[in-house]
Amino acid sequence: MTSKSFHMSRSNLSTSSDAASESLNKPPLPPTVTFGRRTSSGRYISYSRDDLDSELGSGEFMNYTVHIPPTPDNQPMDPSISQKVEEQYVSNSLFTGGFNSVTRAHLMDKVTESEASHPQMAGAKGSSCAIPGCDAKVMSDERGLDILPCECDFKICRDCYIDAVKTGGGICPGCKELYKNTDLDEVAVDNNGRPLPLPPPNGMSKMERRLSLMKSTKSALMRSQTGVGDFDHNRWLFETRGTYGYGNAIWPKDGGFGNGKDDDTAEPTELMSKPWRPLTRKLKIPAAILSPYRLLILIRMVVLALFLTWRINHPNNDAIWLWGMSVVCEIWFAFSWLLDQLPKLCPINRATDLNVLKDKFETPSPNNPNGKSDLPGIDIFVSTADPEKEPPLVTANTILSILAADYPVEKLACYVSDDGGALLTFEAMAEAASFANTWVPFCRKHTIEPRNPESYFNLKRDPYKNKVKSDFVKDRRRVKREYDEFKVRINGLPDSIRRRSDAYHAREEIKAMKVQRQNRGDEPVEGVKIPKATWMADGTHWPGTWLTASAEHSKGDHAGIIQVMLKPPSDEPLLGIADDAKLIDLTDVDIRLPLLVYVSREKRPGYDHNKKAGAMNALVRASAIMSNGPFILNLDCDHYIYNSQAMKEGMCFMMDRGGDRLCYVQFPQRFEGIDPSDRYANHNTVFFDVNMRALDGIMGPVYVGTGCLFRRIALYGFDPPRSKEHHPGCCSCCFGRPKKHSSVANTPEENRALRMGDSDDEEMNLSLLPKRFGNSTFLIDSIPVAEFQGRPLADHPAVKNGRPPGALTIPRELLDASTVAEAISVISCWYEDKTEWGQRVGWIYGSVTEDVVTGYRMHNRGWKSVYCVTKRDAFRGTAPINLTDRLHQVLRWATGSVEIFFSRNNALLASPRMKLLQRIAYLNVGIYPFTSIFLIVYCFLPALSLFSGQFIVQTLNVTFLVYLLVITLTLCMLAILEIKWSGIELEEWWRNEQFWLIGGTSAHLAAVLQGLLKVLAGIEISFTLTSKSGGDDVDDEFADLYIVKWTSLMIPPITIMMVNLIAIAVGFSRTIYSTIPQWSKLIGGVFFSFWVLAHLYPFAKGLMGRRGRTPTIVFVWSGLIAITISLLWVAISPPSTTDQIGGSFQFP
C-alpha cells in the first residue's frame, strides 16, 4: 500500500458557464495558476479571467461556444482514458484527513480478505504492471479489461505511466516508441506537494460543465413557458454538441431557410403540442364517509363543551377534592383530543402514474433522441453508528436493496455513514459491494421483489410464481448458495479482524524487540509495549476506531475517512456477455452498479458532534461535492427498499406541476418481525395511516426520520420558489395589493428560486453563502446546480420554474482525487464552526428528535410535503417487540417532544406561512407528553373512589349517564369512520389505544420529568436498563417478546394495576358488609377501574413472560404496595369501637 499526500487546489471552480472554450483545437495542457487566493481553510483556489471579472463586479457576458469540426490538422485528444484512470485511482484509494492534518490518499491493494470481482469495486483484480520492481495493478475499463496506452500492449500502471510521460520523455518502456496519447499527464499527483489539477473533460472543467448546463438553458426555459423568444445558439450547441458548417448549427428543416421563425429551425415543437398529463392525482375520500366524519367531530365538540359545563356546575360536595381532580383532568383530555382531531378534518389519498413518468423522462423524444434517462439524481444516505447494536449483516442487506433499486444506475449514489468509524462496518460494506456483482444483475434479470436477499430467501410464498425464464430455478439456487457463503463471511468478520490484528501486532512486537536487541547489545531486553492497533486487509493500520481504543483511534477521536467502494458507473448500459466463468448467465443484462461510498466523519475531543443530525449533515456536504444529487433519500440501516420502484413513485410528486414547492416526500414506515397480535402497537398504523394521511391534506406530513425523499435545496434552508409572491388578503379590498419590490421583480428566475430570509425586499446575496455553508467554494457552487436539476419539466405553460426536457441526459462528471479531498475537508469536525449548519441549514441540532424539528423548519418557511403510500410497501424495517425496548423508544420520542415544546421550535411561535391546522398538529407534537400527568391522576381516581366510598359525581343520575353514553358512542363512531377512510383494522385501533395509556403512564411521564429538569436545572437524566435476561428458545422468531428486562419505567403502570386491583377488592368488601350498600358508587368506581386495567392488559401480559414467569422484583413491588396501602387505609379510617388494631372490622 502506498500513501500520497497532496494539497487541495481547484482551477476554474467558479468560472462563467458561457465562457468560450478556445483550447479545443489544441492538445490539453496542464492548467496554470495566474491569479489565486488562499481560503480561510488553508486551500489555494486559482482564478480564471472570468473569475476575476466577476470578483471585480463587472457585468454579465454572453459568449458563444463554437465547436470546430475535427480536421486532419485539428485532432483533439480523447481525454476519456485519463478520466477513467483517475477514477480508478480514486476508487482504489482510502482518503483520510481532518483538522490540522494532511489529507492523504492511501492506495489499497485490497479492502477485504476475499477477492473483489466487479471492475467498479475498490481493490478489483487486474493484471500487474510489467515494470520491474512494481507490483501495482494495470489500469482497466468498465469491464475490468486492461487499458494499454501503447500499441505494443505493454502493461503499465498509472504511476509508472505518469513517470514515463513526465520524466521519460513520453517513451513507452516496452517498445521504446513515443506514446501517441499523453493526456494522462493531466492527472498526475507528485510527491512535491504541487497542486492536484483537474482533468479537463471535453475541454472544460467540471464546474464549468455543471454551470453551463444550468445557465445555458435559461432562454429555452423562458420559451417553454411563454412560447416566444429567439433561438438560443449557446444551448443548442451545448446540448447537441453541434458545430458550425453544412448540416450543423441551426440548419433549417426540409433544406429551406423558411421565414426565420422557431418552427422552421431544429428547435423541437412536438413536445408542446402533446396533451399534458399529470404524474400524480388526488384521490378524495368519499363524501359518504368524510361528511359524517366531520359532522361527528362537530357533535362531539359540542357535547364535550356541554358536559364540561355541566360538570363544573354540579360539584360533588361530599368529595370536592375528587371532583376537582376529575374536572381538571377531563378539561385537559378534551383539549388534547381537540389538538389531535382538528388536523384530521381534511384527509386525502394520492396516486402516481409511473407510465407517464416513463413517457416523459425515459422515452425517446426530439429533446432526447436516444431515450436516455432525464430523471434527476438521487443520493441515498444510510446511517449506522455501532456494529454491535446494529448488525453489519442487516446494514449490508439494506445496501444491497439500494444498489438493486429500479432507478437509472448512473443517477443513483449510496453513501454509508459509519459514525463509529469501525473497521467491521467498513469490511462488511466491501463484502456487500462484492456480492452485489452477483445479486444486482440477478434481480434485474428476473425482476426480483423484494431486493433484500435476506428477506427474499426467507419468503414464505412461492418464489417461482410469475417467473418465466427457464434458467430461474438454476440461477436462484446458485445465488442462494452464494448468499449463504456471503453471510458466513460477514458473520466471521469480527473474528477475522481480531485474528489478523493479533497476528500483525505480534509481528510488530517481534520487530520492536529485534530493534531493541540491536541497540542494546548484550544488555537484558525488557518487554516492549506498543499500542495494539487494528489492521486492514492490506496490512496497514485502520485510520478509524481500533478494537483497543487508543489516541486518535477511538469512537470520539479519529480522522475523517472516505472510501469509494464502487466507482461511478459508465453513462451507457454495460450489458453482460456469455461467460462460462460467471455464476449465472448475464447476457443482455445491465451489470453496472451505482456509486457506493463509505464515509466516517472526523471526530475529535472537545467538539459537539450532534449525534445522528451531525452525521447526516456531513453526508449532505460530502455528497454535494461527489455526486450532488438534487434529491436525498435517507434510510436507517435496518430499513431496506421493499418496493424497487419506490423512488420513481416519490419522483412523480417532485417532478409534477407544483412539485418544486415540495420539500420532501415521506413514505410510511412498515415493519417486519412483529408478533401477530402486535401486543405493543409496534406497527403504529393509527399514526402512519390516519394522522399522516390527514396531514397530507393540509401542508403535508411530518418528517419521521427515515424513508423520506428530500429536495436538497430545502435542506439547505432556502425558501420555496415564488414564496415572495403576494396574494390578496382579507383586507386587500381596502388597502390594495402590495407591490413587489423592483429588485425582486427584476431578479432572474434561477436566482429567485434560491432565496433565504423573511424580508420581501431581500435579494440573494451570494457573498453571505460562505458564512452559512462554510468556506468550500465547490460546495457553494454546487447549490444552484442542484436547484436547477431538481426542477420539474417545463413541458406545459402552467409549469413555473421548470427546466427544459433533455437537460439531464448528459453524463455525470467523473470523480478525481481532488474532489474526494475536498469532500474530506467538509466532513472535518471544524467545518461547521461559525456557520449555520444545524441552525438553519441541514438537519437541525438541539433535539433528540431532530427529524421532527427539521421538517417543522421547512414547513415554517412555506414548503409543503407529500405522503406517498404505495400499493406495495416502499420500505420495511424492524421495530423492538420487547416491552422494555419499546418503552425506551417511546421515551426518546417523548423527550424530544418536550424539548421542542420548551424551544423556539414551539408551534406557538410559527411563522404566518404555516397554516392554522398544520400549526395545531405541530403544537400537539410538543404537548402530548404532558397528558401523562393528568392521565396518571385519572388512572388513580377509580381506586381513590373505591377506597373512600365516594365518586366523581354526587350520584349516577340520568344526565351524567347520557353524557357519558354520547361521548363514548361518538368516539366509537369516529373510530369506525377512521377505519373506513384509512384502511386500518379495528384491532389495530384498539392496540393503539391500549399502548397510548401504557406509554402515557410510563415513558411520557419520565420524558416530562426529564425535560423539566433539563430546562429548569440543566440536569441530564438517562433511563437505562438495570438488568437483562435472555430468552431460552433461540429458534423462536418472537423470542424477544417474552424477555423481561426490568426498568424503572415499569414502576408507575405496576403501581396503577396493583392499586386498582386492591381497590376493587376493598370496594366490594365495604359494599357487601355495609349496612346501607352504595351500589351506584361501587359500580362507577369498578367500571372505571376495569377501563384502566383493560388498557394495561398487554403490559401485564408482558410482565408474565412466556409461561407465566414473572420477575421477583414484580412480587416485591406488589407486596410493598399492598402493605403500604393497607397501612394507609388503617391510618385514614381507624377503628372507632375499640382500641385494638382492627377493631370490630372483619375482612371477609
Catalytic residues: 419, 851
Query: Could you tell me if residue 1105 is left (phi over 0), alpha (psi between -120 and 50 degrees) or otherwise beta?
Result: left
Task: Compute φ and ψ for 545, nearest 5 degrees.
Answer: -80, 130
Tell me the residue type at 786.
Answer: A
Q: CB-based burial of residue 41 (10 Å sphere; 0-12 exposed, 13-18 middle, 19+ buried)? A: middle
Residue 666 CB: number of other CB atoms within 10 A?
28
Non-local CB neighbours of 504 within 8 Å, separated by 6+ positions = 533, 535, 539
Pairs from 522-531 (Cβ < 8 Å, separation ≥ 24): 530/505
Q: What angle do CA 736, 737, 740 make, to 5 degrees?
A: 140
SS3 450: coil
All three cell numbers of 271, joined, read 413536445
C-alpha to C-alpha distance for 88 and 81, rounded to whole angstroms: 11
C-alpha to C-alpha distance for 1052 and 1044, rounded to whole angstroms: 16
All three cell numbers of 588, joined, read 443482455
C-alpha to C-alpha distance for 925 and 985, rounded to whole angstroms: 24
Angle between helices 287-313 and 320-341 (to 10 degrees): 160
86 with 161: CB under 8 angstroms?
no
C-alpha to C-alpha distance for 402 and 433, rounded to whole angstroms: 11
Non-local CB neighbours of 734 within 8 Å, separated by 6+ positions = none
Query: Could you tell me if residue 707 is left (phi over 0), alpha (psi between -120 and 50 degrees) or otherwise beta?
Result: left
Residue 833 CB: number of other CB atoms within 10 A?
10
Q: Which residues pair with 600 in a beta bridge?
A: 561
How far CA 454 is from CA of 347, 483, 608, in Å, comes to: 36, 9, 37
Q: What single string gives the DSSP state of each residue in 586-633?
A: -BT-B----EEEEEE--B-TT----HHHHHHHHHHHHHHHHT--SEEE
950 with 372: CB under 8 angstroms?
no
Q: Which residues pair with 196 in a beta bridge?
A: none
Tell me the residue type at 66.
Answer: V
E strand residue ranges, 627-666: 631-636, 640-641, 662-666
Q: Which residues pair with 1145 in a beta bridge?
A: none
142 with 574: CB under 8 angstroms?
yes
All three cell numbers of 418, joined, read 459509519
Task: Compute φ and ψ for 887, nearest 5 degrees.
Answer: -65, -40
- Sign of the C-alpha dihedral, residues 307, 312, 313, 319? positive
Residue 957 is classified by DSSP as -
Cis peptide before 494 (omega within 30 of 0): no
First to last CA, the chain: 85
Query: Given the DSSP bridges, would you call strands 708-711 and 670-672 parallel, antiparallel or unpaired?
Result: unpaired
All three cell numbers of 966, joined, read 354520547
- Sign of the C-alpha dihedral, residues 761, 766, 769, 771? negative
- Sign of the C-alpha dihedral, residues 607, 608, 610, 611? positive
C-alpha to C-alpha distance for 334 and 306, rounded to whole angstroms: 12
601 with 827: CB under 8 angstroms?
yes
Q: CB-based burial of residue 174 (10 Å sphere; 0-12 exposed, 13-18 middle, 19+ buried)? A: middle
